[in-house]
Amino acid sequence: MNVMTETRTAALDHVADFPAIPAGWAYLDTAATAQKPQMVIDAITRGYDDSYATVHRGVYQRSADMTLAYEAARRKVASFLGAGSADEIVFVRGATEGINLVAHSWAGTQLKAGDRILLSQLEHHSNIVPWQMVAERVGAQIDVLPLTPDHRIDLDAMAAMITPQHKLVALAHVSNVLGSVLDGKRAAEIAHSVRAKILLDGCQSVPRMTVDVAALDCDFYVFSAHKLYGPTGIGVLWARPELLEAMPPYQGGGSMIDSVSFERTTYAPPPGRFEAGTPHIVGALGLHAAIDYVESIGLDRIHAHETALVTMTREALSQINSLTLFGPEDSAGIVSFSIQGVHPHDIGTILDEAKVAVRAGHHCAQPLMASLGVDATARASFGVYNTAADVEALVRGIERVTRIFG
């Protein structure tokens, strides 16, 4: 009861920041997309309302001001990730495009027949399919790391499996299904022991824990703004500067060029080389505001808050005999489960009637579902706006599910 009281008290300061969450609605699908605080909405509105202009092109004052704001957002992201320079930050549409950019411009030019790529059993489809496409094109092979009994990526197995033929490792920093947290630094050490590069998918980590790419010693890091309480349509690829410098452009068009003629085109240095066309200007402003928002609360506090909610949820759900919990006890903000004899879509529908929103399905992780022995799961995922009352509503809803299905 003490944990419940402390969690409710800590969360009440932030629920009012989110205008799209009405009273009595338990939004437990933050892992899919986070709701937006008013300060992010206001930043987007201002961007379109009284200050909108293009960037990097106009010589008039408003364009110059918007360019400064856009590049300030890049510097904010660099600081947020512990990057050495803003030039290491490439704005993309989301983590999916960031991974595809690396697959096309780094892996597609560096890998050859006989090389190997190392993934894990719990990866999101966005961290599987691009590598399959590259492997098929260049003749590389993909190996898959197993999970530990408590559903973490097995780094001991990684140390045993990795060989000098492995040129790239791509892993989720936090699983979008299980909430299991990867020891990214150890994974990087293992990858670098055979001179492989490592990419970390940070979609589920940046909203709930401090990320320092220098301390992690990774080579590529990606995330999507909309999971960080920011807008959709913008995300980030961070990469080591020497890797970006050696990578060819992903797309051609405006902004990414140095000079163009019909005889020859030369390209801008990174990050501009990878940002063809008019960028999502206001999206960058919204991302800046989202980072300001989470930093004003403190990522350590956010992680502790979500951990308390996860603990409450797992303790309550473990009392239901027909329910199976997946993932480790200390999962980061995410609880996945199944109920014997009940399809997750039915769980989600009945919970919706009780004004509880959860995700139901394979969560873009079908290989993981197969390894868990299920077709789908229900998933509750938490954010800064959730409280103990949301957990209580979830548990009441699941108890109703079990009564309906006997």
In this model, does residue 166 exceed pLDDT 90?
Answer: yes
Angle at which helix 2-15 crosses helix 299-317, to 10 degrees, equals 130
Tell me, yes or no, whether 351 and 388 share the same domain. yes
Q: What is the pLDDT of residue 57?
A: 85
**Boundary (domain end) residue, out of 295, 326, 347:** 295
Residue 43 within a domain: no
Show the tokens assigned to 76: 């904010």
Per-residue pLDDT tens over the stretch 83-131: 999 999 999 999 999 999 999 999 999 999 999 999 999 999 999 999 9
Tell me, yes or no, whether 252 and 285 share the same domain. yes
User: Residues 6 or more apart from 296 whose CB is under 8 A from it?
Assistant: none
- CATH code of the domain covering residue 88: 3.40.640.10
Rounded distance between C-alpha atoms, residue 191 and residue 176, angstroms: 22
Would strands 334-339 and 141-145 be described as parallel, antiparallel, or unpaired?
Answer: unpaired
Residue 176 within a domain: yes
Give, rounded to a whole angstrom, the gap between the first and last alpha carbons of the chain.
29
3-state helix, strand, coil in the chain (%, to 5): 45, 15, 40
Residue 37 within a domain: no
Would strands 166-172 and 323-326 be described as parallel, antiparallel, or unpaired?
Answer: unpaired
**Boundary (domain end) residue, out of 264, 295, 326:** 295
Element of type H or E holding 60: none
Rounded distance between C-alpha atoms, residue 2 and residue 224, angstroms: 35
Tell me, yes or no, whether 254 and 330 share the same domain. no
Per-residue pLDDT tens over the stretch 386-406: 999 999 999 999 999 999 997
Would you call 133 exposed, middle or buried from its count of C-beta atoms within 10 A (0-12, 13-18, 19+)?
middle
Residue 46 within a domain: no
DSSP 225: G
Q: Which domain holds residue 317?
A: 2-29+298-404
Rounded distance between C-alpha atoms, residue 108 and residue 168, angstroms: 11
Per-residue pLDDT tens over the stretch 200-253: 999 999 999 999 999 999 999 999 999 999 999 999 999 999 999 999 999 999
Would you call 299 exposed, middle or buried from its count of C-beta atoms within 10 A (0-12, 13-18, 19+)?
middle
Strand partners, 198: 169
Per-residue pLDDT tens over the stretch 59-71: 899 999 999 999 9
Per-residue pLDDT tens over the stretch 257-286: 999 999 999 999 999 999 999 999 999 999
Distances (CA, A) of 222 to 95, 99, 272, 335, 358: 5, 7, 17, 23, 25
Which amino acid is located at 104 in the chain? H
Question: Looking at the chain, how many residues does it have?
Answer: 406
Residue 38 within a domain: no
Residue 237 and residue 220 in contact, taking contact as beta carbons nearer than 8 Å: yes
Tell me, yes or no, whether 378 and 268 share the same domain. no
Q: What is the pLDDT of residue 16?
A: 92
Residue 173 within a domain: yes
Average pLDDT over the chain, rounded to an integer:
95
Tell me, yes or no, whether 285 and 370 share the same domain. no
Q: What is the pLDDT of residue 183?
A: 98
Tell me, yes or no, whether 244 and 355 share the same domain. no
Neighbour count for residue 183 (Cβ, 10 Å) = 14
Would strands 359-361 and 220-224 be described as parallel, antiparallel, or unpaired?
Answer: unpaired
Q: Which residues are the active-site residues?
A: 364
Work out the pLDDT band at 191, boundaries 50, 70, 90: very high
Tell me, yes or no, whether 282 and 174 share the same domain. yes
Tell me, yes or no, whether 284 and 327 share the same domain. no
Per-residue pLDDT tens over the stretch 321-379: 999 999 999 999 999 999 999 999 999 999 999 999 999 999 999 999 999 999 999 99
Q: What is the pLDDT of residue 13?
A: 58
Residue 44 within a domain: no
Q: What is the pLDDT of residue 4?
A: 42
Distances (CA, A) of 204 to 53, 55, 66, 123, 356: 32, 30, 30, 12, 21
Rounded distance between C-alpha atoms, residue 133 and residue 301, angstroms: 40
Tell me, yes or no, whether 272 and 213 share the same domain. yes
Q: What is the pLDDT of residue 5?
A: 41
**Boundary (domain end) residue, out of 295, 330, 357:** 295
How many domains, in total, are found in the chain? 2
Q: What are phi and psi of 92, to 5 degrees?
A: -130, 180
Residue 358 within a domain: yes
Tell me, yes or no, whether 115 and 240 share the same domain. yes
Q: Is 139 helix (H, G, I), strand (E, B) or coil?
A: coil
For the entire predicted model, the pTM comes to 0.96
